[in-house]
Every structure is written in structure tokens, then in C-alpha cells.
Amino acid sequence: MDWLNYHHLLYFWTVARHGSVSDAARELKLRQPTISAQIKDLEDNIGHKLFEKDGRRLVLTEHGSIAARYAEQIFSVGQELLAVMRERPTTSTIRLSIGIADVVPKFVAHRLIEPIFSLNEKHALTCLEDAPEQLLAELALHRLDLVISDSPVPAHVSVRAYNHLLGESAVALYGIRAVAKDKQLRESDLGKLPILLPTSNTALRREIDFWFNKRGISPIVAGEFEDSALMKIFGRAGHGLFPAPLIIAKELEAQYQARPVLILKGISEKFYAISLARQIRNPSVTCIIDNAQRVFKKPRT
């Protein structure tokens, strides 16, 4: 039977957390050549390269990402074992860190993520919200397990990550009665009403701009927002119509008193899970991706 050398695994895990042999050496109080040699022994033992160079830093390969996940769980269980032996209270908890792009509607994110709490294991969930590119940088440093965004990894971003399409939804303009005049609108009405839009760096905004241009409509843009929730708050206050996916129409009516008044035909909003691994092996992340089929009610291809 083959056995892991857990000292080698510890050295690997420390380097993975720091992205640097020198930083790991300071923490472990060992010489750099010692750590490098023992990580090489670990790579030889498991049969895969675990790191590759990215400038001055070391980044995990696909197999390295898998090994780092297992290492984290192994050493977490080790700490729990010590706590049990020393009669300290403890609970087994899986930590999951998810980055959510600021343009992703919070109701969509909630419906995608919530089922992890129905799994047998207890979860400690951390959700960070930021611009997609900043979240991808955090993902590359292994500070996030997953990023949920409205677009795949941009071509100009030098992060080797994989896009998993979760689903898509038709998009409508929503409004409260004071703005929409309590009626279904026609496309010709849009040049007369204030509209709140996401900022121009978002996939949805680009689609909407193309939609208006194709129809020769000059919208009255009353506000542009990076944060989709803030845009909806201004919409609830009566400052304009705003776009949102149809799949969350009930939630928007309940919280923002806004209803869909015009479906933007031909526009859909897509949502992606972005990970460092091509094959998802983390059960919590798998749960989120599988649950997307129920959220969007359409089988993934």
C-alpha cells in the first residue's frame, strides 16, 4: 500500500497558501532547498506536477488545486482530533468561499447557493462581492473556491480558470406603478421614460445597448450602477425602470414592488460558475452547479 509523507504534504500546503517557497520557509523555519526537495518528492510520489511558475510566484496546477483541497481538509481534521483528545468542544465544518460579481442579482445568487445548507455537512459560508476581475484575481490566489458571474473569464484576464454555464433567463424591464403607469409598455414608450441600467462594463449592459440601437431608441438613462441591488432600490424609489431576469419576478415584486412591464425580446442574462479546476470535485460546489438546473429549469448541455 502506498502512503503519503504528511511532512511533505504540510510543506506543499504551506507553499500553496503563500505562493512562495521563501515565505513558506520563514513560516516553517526551514531552508528553501529543503522545502523544494521535499515537494519534488511529493510530486514524484503522486505522479503529477503540483506547481508552475507565474512570474516570481508559484501557482497551483489543476492537480495541485485538488491536492491543496485535500490537504486543507486533512490538516483541519488533524486540528479537530487534537481538540477532541484535549476535550475541547468542536464541530466538523466545511468552509466555502464564493465570490459573487456585483452585477449578479442577489436573489439569483441566493437561490443558487442556499441548497448547500441542506447537505449533511455543516458549512461556514463566506460570500464576497466585487468586480469580476478582482474576484478572478482572488480565485487565482486560492482565496476563493468559486466565482459566480454574468460572463465567462474575459480573454484579456491572465487567469487559467474554467467556465461552467449555470443557466440563462429572459430579461424584462421592471417598474413600480408610478413609473410604468400601471400598464404593459410598448417598445415605443421607452424613449419617454427614465431607465436605470448596469454600467457599461457588464455583459447585460452591452446587450441592452445593442437592443436599443437596433430599434433606434434613445433611452433616458437616469442612472448607471455597478451594484444590481442598489439599482433596484432606486427603481423602488420611482427613479426609473430597471432590467432584471424574469426568473426572479416574484421576489422583485415582493421586495421592490416592481413588476415586469416589457420583456426585452432577444436578450437573456447568463450566469457562470468559474473555477480553477476543469472537473469539479468539491461536493459543495457540485451541489451549486447541479442546483442550477432546478433554478433555471433547463437541462445543462
* Mean pLDDT for all residues in the chain: 87
Structural domain contains residue 1: no
Structural domain contains residue 147: yes
Domain housing 236: 168-268
With contact defined as beta carbons under 8 Å apart, do 231 and 196 qualify?
A: yes
* Domain harbouring 22, CATH code: 1.10.10.10
Structural domain contains residue 289: yes
Q: Which ranges in 86-201 belong to alpha helices (H)? A: 106-113, 132-140, 177-180
Structural domain contains residue 223: yes
Q: Is the pTM of this model over 0.85?
A: no
Structural domain contains residue 195: yes
With contact defined as beta carbons under 8 Å apart, do 218 and 274 qualify?
A: no
pLDDT digit string (tens) for 2-25?
678 888 999 998 999 888 999 999
Give the per-residue pLDDT at 254. Answer: 93
Q: Which of 262, 250, 264 is nearest to 210 (CA)?
A: 264
Q: Do 181 and 156 share a structural domain?
A: no
Q: Do 281 and 162 share a structural domain?
A: yes
| Residue with grid cell 480573454, as numbered in its chain | 155
Q: Do 98 and 70 share a structural domain?
A: no
Residue type for 125, please?
L
Q: Which ranges in the chain belong to alpha helices (H)? A: 6-18, 21-28, 32-46, 62-85, 106-113, 132-140, 177-180, 203-215, 228-236, 249-256, 283-296
* Domain harbouring 257, CATH code: 3.40.190.290
Give the per-residue pLDDT at 91. Answer: 55
**Which residues is 58 bridged to in the sheet?**
53
Q: How many domains does the chain have?
A: 3
- Does residue 249 carry a pLDDT above 90? yes
Give the per-residue pLDDT at 40. Answer: 93
Element (H, E) at 192: none
Mean pLDDT on 153-180: 87
| More reliable by pLDDT, 184 or 13 | 13
Mean pLDDT on 250-265: 93
Q: Do 233 and 260 share a structural domain?
A: yes
- Residues 6 or more apart in contact with residue 223 via CB below 8 angstroms: 196, 197, 231, 234, 239, 240
Q: Do 142 and 225 share a structural domain?
A: no
Q: Do 288 and 249 share a structural domain?
A: no
Give the per-residue pLDDT at 227. Answer: 87
| More reliable by pLDDT, 3 or 213 | 213
Give the per-residue pLDDT at 85. Answer: 64
Give the per-residue pLDDT at 300. Answer: 41
Confidence of residue 77 (pLDDT cuts 50, 70, 90): confident
Give the per-residue pLDDT at 181. Answer: 67
- Does residue 62 carry a pLDDT above 60? yes
In the sheet with 122-130, reading across from the earlier edge strand, the strands are 122-130, 93-101, 146-149, 259-275, 162-175, 242-245
Q: Do 220 and 255 share a structural domain?
A: yes
Mean pLDDT on 67-93: 70
With contact defined as beta carbons under 8 Å apart, do 195 and 71 qualify?
A: no
Mean pLDDT on 251-258: 93
Q: Do 278 and 240 share a structural domain?
A: no
> In this predicted structure, which of 85-89, 185-189, 282-286 has the lowest mean pLDDT?
85-89
- Cβ atoms < 10 Å from Cβ of 138: 16
- Does residue 191 carry a pLDDT above 80? yes
Q: Do 193 and 128 share a structural domain?
A: no
Out of 58, 85, 112, pick the residue that ends a domain.
85
Give the per-residue pLDDT at 212. Answer: 95
| More reliable by pLDDT, 155 or 248 | 248
Out of 85, 104, 131, pick the residue that ends a domain.
85
Q: Do 284 and 154 share a structural domain?
A: yes
pLDDT digit string (tens) for 105-120?
999 999 999 988 888 7
Structural domain contains residue 285: yes
Out of 56, 85, 114, pick the residue that ends a domain.
85
Q: Do 219 and 72 share a structural domain?
A: no
Structural domain contains residue 280: yes
Structural domain contains residue 17: yes
Confidence of residue 263 (pLDDT cuts 50, 70, 90): very high
**Could you give the percent of the chain with pLDDT greater than 70?**
92
* Domain harbouring 106, CATH code: 3.40.190.10
Q: Do 283 and 231 share a structural domain?
A: no
Give the per-residue pLDDT at 54. Answer: 83
C-alpha cell belonging to residue 222: 437616469
